Structure 1
């Protein structure tokens, strides 16, 4: 599907509901693996301060080879088999702060790009992804889904340039499904022009995403032959003469996304709560862009050469002799000790970034990630000192008088629909539905209620596993049509979920509760004379479905 197809969808009224935030937002990513860290670096869900963020993002879930969203750490995420049940605990945080939104992130750096490239190119796998993602989000009480594909058309991508349109198509179809439940669709994206221009059709995805967090960090790191700032606000010391295509700054990233048509009210500036470390070739040559031989020191908790959490670094500043300098042009600090060179952010640099971002009237800020802030206030500025500084710069009036909800707090089960995800208010007799139909035999089922335990049934000519080349039996570009159907008053919902149409094999109902708690039927028409498959909960070829009406 190209941008003209998507424009037609917009004209037909399929575009996303426009989300307007009443205050500047602060999106906070939580790295769940911090549960496994030792000593003062250990950080559980129960340790999260619910007042310091407007949106909390749980990282990460992944996908299997057929696009189905899966837990990457079931013992941590789920409660079965004596697991830690972190999905439930994370969403229970909203009982302490009802304004808080929780979002489930899928992807991340370690997931790579290949599986996502294959999934987005295959209509069946896209529907696997959409159905399973929606089920996981709703079953566990999240308020939205965050897409963190790193990155379309980069790294180990299978389909290369085709990823760009495929990613756009995935976002369109996801938003259609999530809109049924009032759920947020967000994404973390590459920030600088050199990278973002390879991966995204920015005008298209900006129409459908509610929050777009540009990851304005990792601009320089130990993979470079010289030292550089992790997240410089502006062009800095030593940058004169650097080719523009290799000069990365927060300022340039923000302006690029805005220039490409991203609405400022959706754009969020991602900032790091960590530093990048280098080893100097010569300790006496230690300015910005000094020769470096590779990664520098690792922190005791994150234990990764070339990377150090702010909580790990600020303790070193207290116990060791460091030369801390400010790059007055880039508006960020760096520190030198012997052959160790560290680029990092502190309260002052983060405040400057927020102030600059607000001057562009964007939606707010994002941080990666909360578990590397000064969690315990050991560096003299109180706990979560960086997050508090960002909140002050955003002019958020935070209330920190209440304690976090204990882990034993019970949240509603998946059978109840939270008010925040209810979007249907029309009466049963007038409820209408719009459905995207594609060349795939399967359409989005958009349900949290039940899923098939097996791979969705497909014709025997369809490959059961992804290949490294586009399938010849499946179109990688869907064609779309719009069908609106009035629901007859004679159909009565018996329970939430899917129901076959007793009068037609080619249509079906989804029963959802409206804002008054009343079950409302919404009728959908399968595309291309496909039959509704109640067993597998998708539209299928008629020879594969038992239907008698």
Structure 2
């Protein structure tokens, strides 16, 4: 039986599409009949080029807006989020929920360190965050704490027991302050370098724990030159967090809509490329898309997205997240979200 593509089959695709997708001979995937979140991250800095009305609303269940940022004085930095209310209203008109992501990589989450040292500052931050979420109609909050003294200041891996516990305490305080049914989630990494900072106690205060299962290769000495989120690495990431005590039914697992290029085949310099751009390049160069590689660029593919979604389904995990929605390809035949929907349909949550 040919693989269904939400209205397309391999036999119905053009020759170019078959080349791009590599769908010949693929097995029919098992499909979830339960409602599982399909979360699409939406970066507000792409608002002008990708306004909300252009998003593929039928391919995801939740939109996670990135990002607001904590400030050391307890305020919430919302620069760039001027259209937040309009985005939320559009999402609600489509029957979708919207989560506000707070924090991010590097300096984006550094202020969490100072906020959580001072009970008064933490309380002020939570009050400001709760007020902003209520005023703009958000359905949830995601805490993305990625800055740690060990890793970011001391270039040292592992767990800082004092700092990691402060994230747990922040999540507990947020859960107590934010009214139900407001969603509360927290982002975690896998791997002993930074993954050890995230304690399984986080799940006691979160509706979802979002595993960022990508960026496992890059511009550092010990990194291999290869795919940053292939299926083998993805499985290892799932094993890592479950072995640390995170329960599958709380885990929403992320995958990347971008590729990493090792410039000149070396790991001293890497560049990121949107998946949608790589589709165009693969087509022009007549490279099969599901190869997941062009020269020194390694990237996600529809075949890989389906395999990851299938693994999430088999392991009884909560759902899936794509970072990020504007980097996906709009055409259903090439879209990563469409590939995910073949296994975990967003329509099941309608």
Residue pairs, 1:303-382, within 5 angstroms = 306-320=271-285, 322=287, 326=291, 333-336=292-295, 341-375=296-330, 377=331, 381-382=332-333
Runs of 4+ in 1 over 6 A off after TM superposition: none
Within the candidate set 57, 64, 75, 1:57 is matched to: 64
**Residues 133 and 325 (structure 1), Cα distance of their counterparts in 2 relative to 1, 3 Å cut:** closer
- Is the 1:31–1:369 Cα contact (8 Å) retained in structure 2? yes
Residue pairs, 1:375-524, within 5 angstroms = 375=330, 377=331, 381-382=332-333, 385-397=335-347
Structure 1 residue 279 displacement after superposition: 2.3
Helix, strand or coil at the partner of 1:361: coil
Gaps of 5+ in 2: 1-32
Q: Deviations over 1:501-532 (max 9, x none)?
A: xxxxxxxxxxxxxxxxxxxxxxxxxxxxxxxx
Counterpart position of 1:31: 43
- Is the 2:151–2:194 Cα contact (8 Å) retained in structure 1? no
Q: Aligned partners of 1:264 and 1:207: how far apart in 2?
A: 13
- Is the 1:152–1:167 Cα contact (8 Å) retained in structure 2? no
Helix, strand or coil at the partner of 2:194: helix
Residue pairs, 1:81-480, within 5 angstroms = 86-98=83-95, 100-156=96-152, 161-178=161-178, 180-197=179-196, 199-202=197-200, 204-224=201-221, 226-234=224-232, 249-281=233-265, 292=266, 294-295=268-269, 306-320=271-285, 322=287, 326=291, 333-336=292-295, 341-375=296-330, 377=331, 381-382=332-333, 385-397=335-347
Q: Which has the higher contact order (CA 8 A, sep 6+)?
A: 2
Q: Aligned partners of 1:385 and 1:113: how far apart in 2?
A: 31
**Residues 251 and 58 (structure 1), Cα distance of their counterparts in 2 relative to 1, 3 Å cut:** same
Structure 1 residue 320 displacement after superposition: 3.1
Structure 1 residue 221 displacement after superposition: 2.0
Larger Rg: 1
Gaps of 5+ in 1: 1-20, 37-41, 79-85, 235-248, 282-291, 297-305, 327-332, 401-549
Structure 1 residue 322 displacement after superposition: 4.8
Higher helix share: 2
Structure 1 residue 356 displacement after superposition: 1.2
Helix, strand or coil at the partner of 2:147: coil
TM-score for the superposition, normalised by structure 1: 0.53
- Is the 2:65–2:100 Cα contact (8 Å) retained in structure 1? yes
Structure 1 residue 95 displacement after superposition: 3.6
Q: Aligned partners of 2:119 and 2:349: how far apart in 1?
A: 46
Structure 1 residue 316 displacement after superposition: 1.0
Q: Aligned partners of 1:263 and 1:54: how far apart in 2?
A: 22
Structure 1 residue 94 displacement after superposition: 3.4
Q: Aligned partners of 1:69 and 1:22: how far apart in 2?
A: 36
- Is the 2:102–2:143 Cα contact (8 Å) retained in structure 1? yes
TM-score for the superposition, normalised by structure 2: 0.82
CA RMSD, 1 decimal: 2.5
- Is the 1:112–1:156 Cα contact (8 Å) retained in structure 2? no
Q: Aligned partners of 2:188 and 2:55: how far apart in 1?
A: 25
